[in-house]
């Protein structure tokens, strides 16, 4: 039998495939997460994330400049304080001389509006218990007391030059509290990239090393259950109602259905975070010769774009931006 309809025609050459490609990936879609740490004399590779570094301020400046020159859409900064500077309330998070706020000021001076400078707005790196908020007398994360700390942290980050703040703690009402505080303080142009649907995940493991986490227990009372889908849309709608400028799904690759769901209801841009464990499993498999590293990276990022994300946080941002340029 001779077929009448031949879809393979449009796949017959590389030029044809490029012409009809439905999903594009460009440097502007990519955001580079970066770690800056106190107490280092030189940048230090994260053992569970080969190729990713904890930076000194000097190496951060160099890597940030390289990323911007490659055309990435933005930079997301995480601070890693000395262990001795951690405490129960994460006081280093909003201290003017805290590692993250110092780094924000340096990059603001270096880069200005040549990129979009973002800051992780969460306490977990700065607390001695490793949770994303303040604990009550029973050892539970106190939602409303934590909001006060997020507000103070947000204002410190805005003063330090962050253009987008990334509240990632999944506290109820966090976007509304931060938006109101920013507006009251005159930071009406400072935006919020809300971690709107953030799931408790086994794939965060390498990140815990990256930020020197002091976590005791887990975060399942505030991060979402991986079994739930409708709950994610409720969280996203709440963040939209509270004034989020961008909403994000985290992790990305195991939650592409959620990325698609969010893209279908959101009237603001949708981001997705290709997290540490996703980076590490591709890297490890490639190191063993089990997969084609470069092809797997591009395929994974394209799948996130195809699902509906217009912004992707990925540790390969600079590398892929250079390949796409």
For the annotated catalytic residues, the residue numbers are 198, 250
Classified as helix, coil or strand, 75 is strand
The tokens describing 285, both together, are 């498999």
Of 81, 80, 72, 79, nearest to 111 (Cα)?
72
**CA distance linking residue 33 with residue 50, whole number of Å:** 15
| Spatial distance between the Cα atoms of 321 and 306, rounded to a whole number of angstroms | 18
SS3 162: coil
In the block, tokens 């000021």 appear at 105
Size (the chain), residues? 325
252 in Cβ contact with 198 (< 8 Å): no
Specify whether the CB–CB gap between 210 and 49 falls below 8 A: yes
- Separation of alpha carbons 269 and 310, rounded Å: 6
Contacts of 89 (CB under 8 A, 6+ apart): 123, 127, 134, 149
What's the token pair of residue 190? 């400072």
Place of tokens 């540790």: 315
E strands of the chain, at which residues? 30-37, 44-45, 53-55, 74-80, 116-121, 164-167, 191-198, 246-250, 270-273, 311-313
Burial 267-294 (b: 16+ CB within 10 A, else e): ebebbbbbbbbbbbebbeebeeeebeee
Cα(79)–Cα(50) distance, rounded to whole angstroms? 19
């Amino acid at each position: 039998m001779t077929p009448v309809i031949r879809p393979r025609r449009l796949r017959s050459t590389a030029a044809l495939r490029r012409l009809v490609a439905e999903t594009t990936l460009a440097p502007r879609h990519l955001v580079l997460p970066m770690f800056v740490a106190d107490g280092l004399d030189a940048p230090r590779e994260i053992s569970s994330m080969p190729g990713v570094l904890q930076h000194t301020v000097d190496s951060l400046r160099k890597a940030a400049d390289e990323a911007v020159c490659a055309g990435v859409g933005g930079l997301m900064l995480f601070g890693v304080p000395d262990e001795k500077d951690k405490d129960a309330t994460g006081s280093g998070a909003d201290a003017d001389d805290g590692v993250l706020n110092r780094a924000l000021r340096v990059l603001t001076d270096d880069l200005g509006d040549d990129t979009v400078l973002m800051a992780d707005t969460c306490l977990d790196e700065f607390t001695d218990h490793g949770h994303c908020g303040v604990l009550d007398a029973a050892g539970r994360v106190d939602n409303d007391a934590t909001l006060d700390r997020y507000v103070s942290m947000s204002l410190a980050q805005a003063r330090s030059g962050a253009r987008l703040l990334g509240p990632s703690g999944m506290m109820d009402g966090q976007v509304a509290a931060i938006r109101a505080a920013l507006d009251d303080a005159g930071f009406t142009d400072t935006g919020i990239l809300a971690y709107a649907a953030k799931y408790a995940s086994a794939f965060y493991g390498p990140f815990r090393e990256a930020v020197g986490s002091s976590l005791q227990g887990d975060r399942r009372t505030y991060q979402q259950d991986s079994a739930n889908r409708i709950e994610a849309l409720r969280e996203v709608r709440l963040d939209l109602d509270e004034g989020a400028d961008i909403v994000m799904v985290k992790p990305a690759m195991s939650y592409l259905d959620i990325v698609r769901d969010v893209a279908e209801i959101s009237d603001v841009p949708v981001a997705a975070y290709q997290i540490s464990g996703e980076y590490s499993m591709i890297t490890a498999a490639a190191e063993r010769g089990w997969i084609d590293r470069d092809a797997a990276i591009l395929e994974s990022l394209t799948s996130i774009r195809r699902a509906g994300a217009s912004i992707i946080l990925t540790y390969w941002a600079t590398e892929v931006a250079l390949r796409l340029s």
